Amino acid sequence: MIEITKIKTKDIAKESIKSIDKTVVGLEKTKDNIVNIKEKTENAYKSDNDNNAPEYASNKIDYVKNTITRKAIKDYNKRGTKATKETTENVKKIKSKIKNIKTKLAERKNIKKAQRTVKTTKQLTEKAAKETVKNVERGRKLAKESTKRTTQSIKAAAKVTIVTIKGIIAALKSLITFLIAGGWIVIIIVVVICLVGLLLSSIFGIFFSSENTGANTISMNTVISEINKEMATKIKEIENNNPHDNYKIESNRASWKDILIVYVATISKGTNETDVITIDNYKIEQLKKIFWDMNTITYEIKQEPKDSTLYEGQQDSTIENVLYIKISSKTPEDMIDIYGFSPLQVEQMEELQKEEYSSMWASVIFGSPIGSPNMVQIALEQVGNVGGEPYWSWYGFTSRVEWCACFVSWVANQAGIDETIIPKFSLVSTGVNFFKATGVWQDKGYSPQPGDIIFFDWENDGKPNHVGIVEKVENNEVYTIEGNSSDECKEKNYSISSNLIFGYGVPAY
């Protein structure tokens, strides 16, 4: 029966913790109270057993009790092993825990606190069941009192600061490892839920806002993708409404990292406890407003000689109309003055700008890239082509040009990919600037997906001069399909850290 009580206390602790919101201060008291519950429940049960007079009845109850206990121990061990394994996995893959927490945060506004109930694990005999219920009821009352005291302590605590939250993040892994070693399965669940809940209800919740928890939730990377498409559509409208022979994009667009930092400060309204992990229509409109407040598109048409860099040894004095599309931006520092942020909002922005969080922003902005196997398949079918005539003639040139960008554009067209996702471009620099302008650019060092567009800088002078399509990544090698590689379509490969790689366009296929 001692083991059964442990299981019951565990369930009660798990249910009770749902009422604890944003807590760290009460964790130690919760641990002590759970230990007291176990001891009091155990003593209460022993006390009741001492009052059983008839030996026969006592033996009968002991027999039933021992049978149930053996089953419960077996079940508990099975569950305990599973719980420990799952907890260990959660240290490595905390996102699965975070998804459940995020769902609860999104639903918390509309769902009343559920009625807590106690269920028995097995149908017992009448007398054994009565004894079990008495013990569980005592444990429930003690747990309720413990939760009440803990909640009161939490309410009396000061607001959690950014420094405290960072300390919790740093301590989480070692704390869970310690608890696992001691067999504190119940405490592990309590600690994980409390710490993760506290983390997600702070400004750091933004790092988990792209987790997709179901059909009824909106992820941040989905909203970002839609806003990027708005930018691409505006660029395409400018192209379509202004006749030109060639176009160039000059992009100094605000990065999504900077935009989201301003967004967090805006939503927080100068408090440390804020919900930036969930997305609703109001937040989407706020994000769009910030995006367009920070980015401006202008354009003009200039008459210039044809760009001779495309042609191999040819001089062309023809004048052409070149459409220049320019994207300018404001910095987060500019937005502090424009939006009139408070000192705490400025502090939050400075915190999120720190280099230690750099690796976390990519998953917020891009989610989990899926690439495009279709792009890869079509490109592979072209391997062996010499001269590139199908690609540069499709683009509109009447004689051979440097055709690596034409090849990428042709493959995208054959794959049915809209020009707002991969543009039709003949200049390598135009492709780079398009992906930067539409917010789907990754610098070198990123691990690309099949179908991503890879750009090269052969001279290491900061000027991209070649482009291809990513086929795959294996053993830290990037495998590519490139047009105009010694005037052929070829498969090639590079170290993922090669200094020849300039960066990647990451289309939102």
Give the pLDDT confidence of 106-151 residue by residue, as tens digits. 555 554 444 444 344 444 445 544 554 455 455 555 445 544 444 4
The single-letter code of the amino acid at 159 is K
Which is nearest to 275 in space by CA: 18, 19, 16, 22?
22
Amino acid 118: pLDDT: 39
Question: Do 357 and 377 lie in a common domain?
Answer: no
Question: Residue 164 domain-assigned?
Answer: yes
Same domain for 261 and 404: no
Which of 163, 181, 201 finishes a domain?
201
**Predicted local confidence at residue 13, as pLDDT:** 43
Instruction: Categorize the per-residue pLDDT at 319 as very low, low, confident or very high, splitting at 50, 70 and 90.
Output: confident
Verify that 240 and 185 share a domain, yes or no.
Answer: no
Are 312 and 394 contained in the same domain? no
More confident residue, 9 or 216: 216
124, 144: one domain: yes
Last residue of a domain, one of 301, 334, 364: 364
How far is C-alpha 233 from the chain's CA centre?
Answer: 26
**In this model, does residue 37 exceed pLDDT 70?**
no
Residue 95 identity: K
| Residue scoring higher pLDDT (85 or 3) | 85
Closest CA to 505 of 329, 328, 366, 394: 366
Query: 39: helix, coil or strand?
Result: helix
Residue 53 has pLDDT above 70, yes or no: no
- C-alpha neighbours within 13 Å on the C-beta side of residue 411: 30
Region 489-493 average pLDDT: 96
Alpha-carbon distance of 378 to 299, in angstroms, equals 35
Domain count, the chain: 3
Burial class (CB in 10 A: 0-12, 13-18, 19+), 142: buried
Q: 3-state class of 484 per DSSP?
A: strand
Instruction: Specify the 3-state DSSP secondary structure of 487.
Output: coil
Q: What integer pLDDT is reported at residue 225 of this predicted model?
A: 87
pLDDT at site 161: 46
> Of 305-314, 406-415, 468-477, 490-499, which gets the smallest average pLDDT?
305-314
Q: Which pair of tokens denotes residue 411?
A: 């493959």
- Partnered with residue 442 across adjacent β-strands are 504
Query: How many C-beta atoms surround the C-beta of residue 115 within 10 A?
Result: 6
Give the pLDDT confidence score for residue 310 in this predicted structure. Answer: 55
| Percent of the chain whose predicted confidence (pLDDT) is above 90 | 41
Average of per-residue pLDDT across 145-160: 43
Both tokens of residue 472?
């795959």
Regarding whether 190 and 49 lie in a shared domain, the answer is: yes
Beta strand residue intervals within 382-487, DSSP E: 441-443, 453-456, 466-474, 477-485
Claim to verify: residue 29 and residue 147 sit in the same structural domain: yes
Size of the chain in residues: 509
Pairing of strands 246-251, 319-329: parallel
Percent of the chain with pLDDT over 70: 57
Q: How many helices (H) and strands (E) does the chain have?
A: 17, 9
Residues 76 and 115 placed together within one structural domain of the fold: yes
pLDDT at 307 over 70: no
Residues 310 and 226 occupy one common structural domain: yes
> Of the residues 341, 364, 387, which one is the last residue of a structural domain?
364
The string of pLDDT tens digits covering residues 245-289 is 888 888 888 999 999 999 999 999 988 778 898 899 999 999 999
State how beta strands 466-474 and 246-251 pair.
unpaired
Match 């495998």 to its residue by tokens.
Answer: 479
For residue 474, pLDDT beyond 50: yes
Specify the higher pLDDT residue, 372 or 504: 504
| 294 token code pair | 């920070």
206, part of any domain: no
3-class SS string, 224-293? HHHHHHHHHHHHHHHHHHCCCCEEEEEECCCCHHHHHHHHHHHHHCCCCCCCCCCCCHHHHHHHHHHHHH
Predicted confidence band of residue 394 (pLDDT cuts 50, 70, 90): very high
Task: Characterise 315 by phi-psi region: left (phi > 0), alpha (psi -120 to 50), beta (else).
Answer: beta
Cα four-point dihedral sign 163, 164, 168, 174: positive
Mean pLDDT of the chain: 74
Write phi, then psi, for 296 (nearest 5 degrees): -130, 135
**Residue 73 pLDDT greater than 70, yes or no:** no
| Span 333-360, pLDDT tens digits | 999 999 999 999 999 999 999 988 877 8
- Choose among 12, 433, 112: nearest CA to 250: 433
Give CA–CA dist 146/157, Å, rounded: 17
Distance CA 237, CA 348 (A): 37
Task: Give 379 or 38, the one with higher predicted confidence.
Answer: 379
Torsion over CA of 158, 160, 164 and 168, rounded to 10 degrees? 120
Q: Which residues form the domain of 449?
A: 369-509
Are 187 and 239 found together in one domain?
no
CATH classification at residue 469: 3.90.1720.10
CA-to-CA distance for 236 and 252, rounded, in angstroms?
A: 18
Q: Under DSSP, is residue 253 helix (H, G, I), strand (E, B) or coil?
A: coil
The reported pLDDT for the residue numbered 426 is 93
Rg for the chain, CA atoms, rounded: 31
383 shares its domain with 348: no
- At residue 506, the pLDDT reads 93
More confident site: 47 or 177: 177
Kindly state whether residues 31 and 150 are assigned to the same domain.
yes
Integer Cα distance of 191 and 178 in angstroms = 12
Q: Identify whether 406 is part of a domain.
A: yes
Beta pairing, strands 501-505 & 441-443? antiparallel
How many degrees, rounded to 5, is the angle at CA 318 between CA 313 and CA 324?
Answer: 100
Rounded to two decimals, the pTM is 0.55
